[in-house]
Structure 1
Amino acid sequence: MADLVLENGRLVTPWGVLDAGVAVEDGRITAIAAKSDLPSAEQVIDCSGQYVFPGLFDPHVHMGGRTPFMENIITETQSAAAGGVTSFLQYLRSDSMGYENVTERIELSAERSLVDTSFHFIVSGMEQAKDILGFSERFDIRTFKFYMGGYEPGNPIGIVTADDGVLYAGMERIRHLGDYSFCMVHAEDHPLVQLFTAEVKQTGRQDLQAYTDSRPDFVEEQDILRAIWMAELLGCPLYIPHVTVGAGIDAAIAAKERGARIVLETCPHYLGLTADHEVFHGHRAGIGKVSPPLRDTENQDRLWEGLVSGDITTVGSDHVPIEKSGSALWEERPGFAGMATILPVLITFGLKQGRISLEKIAEVTSLNPARTFGYYPQKGIMAVGSDADFAIVDLDLEKTVNAASTHSRFTSAFDEMTLTGWPTMTIRRGEIIFRDGEVLAEPGSGRVIQRVSSSAG
């Protein structure tokens, strides 16, 4: 007898939508079959009229910041559960070479997260870049992010930007780490951002488009081109998160045709919002402040095209736990919460508008992130032997984005907007962790997960 059976739903896979059910035992999938061929089970869930997605695998999450990590690892993984996210990768950072807070956050994640998690590391300076091999051996982390620009020295977030020397030293080491290793870059040219920010501020503008004008398209394009050049020079795999510009997609396509290993990610807010959206008018401009910034419809259309073509292969929330008022554009911190709204955004602005298929949504939110970073086939797919992670979704369910619907303590770029296509249930390793608006999982029921296989280069 199985522990759990899902029946009467439609299973969404990257290869098609199936009229089938799923059986689960000991947290893993044991059968995918027609209802008549499923085993009996201790618990049967009727998914009639709903679509069963593989649990989302969010590759881009930030925790901590101005709020205590030990608190928001609970509140924000509650939000993950509400959004159908069953696994996520979070960015760690350390101001010291002892990496004490890295150890602490890994331990706290194991003790307090409601969903499964693992880690990237943000490199702060040359000393850490030169220590990448030792750090990787110690913590078994193979993905390292460098902020090429976009943040002033002494910024309140604590980001340390990487010059070309730091980036080179990092790539030179990352290329030896083997499978699933990537150099990751935040691509915004710092001198240009400084120049244009000063010029735009002098005008006195407080609209969100002013912030976008301070970071025009080519600021991102230039750093993408520079990172690609260096990655090709050294033979280092490159992952470019939160891509917002079509020119960046074109640059990556050209490099991949030359044999480079490059993976592009974009985020739901770039797919659903633009800098001139009415939701950010008046005193709400700062709500939409994010780095890189929201762009225009031309770039947004290219992002949708890139997802469909496969040139952009992953979608990450870039979830940041920040409370925002929105009234002071230039003083507001960039970023916002996003894990709970990944699916509703893709369904509202993508599926419902004929821009993307159900199959592609499953691919870019689950299969591709898990496979890119080495957690497939344990994660990212509905297959016999894989973890029983599911997001059961009502494609027509409408909700207003607020604290009640997202279960997050923090501001969303989509606050007060009505989105369609929300999870009604989330199952992580066979356990129902969210159901009909209520988070059911206990803190610490999530796990720190390891890559399924790896080999050093």
Structure 2
Amino acid sequence: MDLLVEEGVTSFKQFMAYPGVFYSDDGQILRAMQRSADNGGLIMMHAENGIAIDVLVEQALARGETDPRYHGEVRKALLEAEATHRAIKLAQVAGAPLYVVHVSAMEAVAELARARDEGLNVFGETCPQYLFLSTDNLAEPDFEGSKYVCSTPLRPKEHQAKLWQGLRTNDLQVVSTDHCPFCFVGQKELGRGDFSKIPNGLPGVENRMDLLHQAVVDGHITRRRWIEIACATPARMFGMYPKKGTIAPGADADVVIYDPHAEQIISAETHHMNVDYSAYEGKRLTGRVETVLSRGELVITEREYTGHAGHGTYTPRSTCQYLN
């Protein structure tokens, strides 16, 4: 971890979920947090109680509950909240900052808000799927619900209001995507008859900025807040400011020219992601990217890709610049 921080890789993801795969126990988490407290790294935590969830999965399958909707039912909001609370306390013991990824449950938002009220360097992100989709999608018939299996899972619609509130009050600082696409044909279908075998993840990186602009149109957030949670704060959170996250002399000239009045319909037929479905198929949005400059070079010109291979460059990151 020390070597990586020196090389400009300054954030580390750990999982309290997925026993036997990615899972870290409390001791491993504490040791990583202690190291990050010393070297300036930032621990990014997938906060779900994976040990308890595995028990509930086993019990559900034994009862014959195999459809995709049960993925959301066994991954309980309280187990997200419990893991979030535990991660916060471990970070407090270590004296380290903490960034909780893909927050989906109102109970987890409450844990983050409480920690921040205590002055702790605890941060959270949510994702468009939790703001726009719900357990209603997981329950779609004919195995269509498998398209929406991700972890943390989609929640009932009443959680959405608390997520929007958290974004407005800065108890949640960032909207990311947790982009992790699997095709429906041949991949999601692996879980027919056993929801625990459905690959976890859905596509969304292409739609994030437009969905969040729709939130501006709908009155959930201001246009300024849209830019903060999607662009400015991530640059500061992950040590890329002031090269990224601002338009100023000396910064990289990364500029998006956005048409806030253009209308579009999201569809797998027109998206560029390498996946055979869209989680937002048919959704009408107001707002669309027109032109994009990367380090001053045109890479999208009037919605057409005009970049070239080899333009990308490694950008070493400093430590988190968003601490209290």
Question: Is TM > 0.5 for Structure 1 vs Structure 2?
Answer: yes
Of 70, 80, 94 in structure 2, the residue corresponding to residue 210 of structure 1 is 70
Task: Find out whether 1:145 has 2:13 as its counterpart.
Answer: yes
Is the Cα contact below 8 Å between 2:10 and 2:318 reproduced in 1? no
- Once the two structures are superposed, residues 124-144 of structure 1 have per-residue CA deviations (whole angstroms, 9 ceiling, x without a partner) of xxxxxxxx224434x332211
- Indicate the residue corresponding to 1:357 in structure 2: 222
Q: Give SS of 1:399's match.
A: strand
Partner of 1:375: 240
Counterpart CA distance in 2 for 1:232 and 1:390 is 38
Note closer, same or farther for the CA distance 1:185–1:427 as it changes in structure 2 (3 Å cut): same
Q: CA contact under 8 A between 1:378 and 1:452: conserved in structure 2?
A: no
RMSD over equivalenced CA pairs, Å: 2.2
Counterpart of 2:107 in structure 1 is: 247
- Asked which structure has the greater RCO (Cα within 8 Å, sep 6+), the reply is 1
Contact 2:179-2:204 within 8 A present in 1 as well: yes
Cα distance between partner residues in 2 of 1:162 and 1:237: 18
SS at match of 1:345: helix
Letter in 2 for 1:365: A
1:176 aligns with 2:44: no
**What is the TM-score of this pair, normalised by structure 2?**
0.89
1:432 and 2:298 correspond: yes
User: How far apart are residue 356 of structure 1 and its match?
Assistant: 1.0
Which one of the candidate residues 390, 396, 404 is aligned to 2:261?
396
Task: For residues 399-441 of structure 1, give each alpha carbon's deviation from its aligned partner in whole angstroms, at most 9, with x where no partner exists.
Answer: 3333453311124422343333221222211212113342221
The answer for unaligned runs of 5 or more in structure 2 is none
C-alpha contact 2:53 2:74 (8 A) present in aligned 1: yes
Residue aligning to 1:331: 197
Which secondary structure state, in structure 2, belongs to the residue aligned with residue 277 of structure 1? helix
Question: Once the two structures are superposed, what CA deviation does each residue of 1:232-270 show, in whole Å capped at 9, x if it has no partner?
Answer: 111011010101112222212222232321111111111
Could you say which structure has the larger radius of gyration?
A: 1
Deviation at 1:279, TM superposition (A): 8.9
CA distance in 1, matches of 2:137, 2:286: 18
In the alignment, is the contact (CA less than 8 A) between 1:280 and 1:287 conserved in 2? no
- Structure 2 residue 291 is the aligned partner of structure 1 residue 422: no
Would you say the 8 A contact 1:196–1:213 is kept in 2? no
CA pair 195-204 structure 1, distance change in 2 beyond 3 A: same
Tell me which residue corresponds to 1:133: 2
Matches within 5 A, 1:6-405: 132-137=1-6, 139-149=7-17, 151-153=18-20, 159-178=21-40, 181-277=41-137, 280-325=140-185, 326-327=188-189, 328=192, 329-348=195-214, 350-405=215-270
- How far apart, CA to CA, are the structure 1 residues paired with 2:271 and 2:246? 24
Unmatched segments (≥5 aa) in structure 1 = 1-131, 154-158
Q: Which has the higher helix share?
A: 2
Counterpart Cα distance in 1 of 2:320 and 2:222: 32
Paired residues in the alignment total: 314
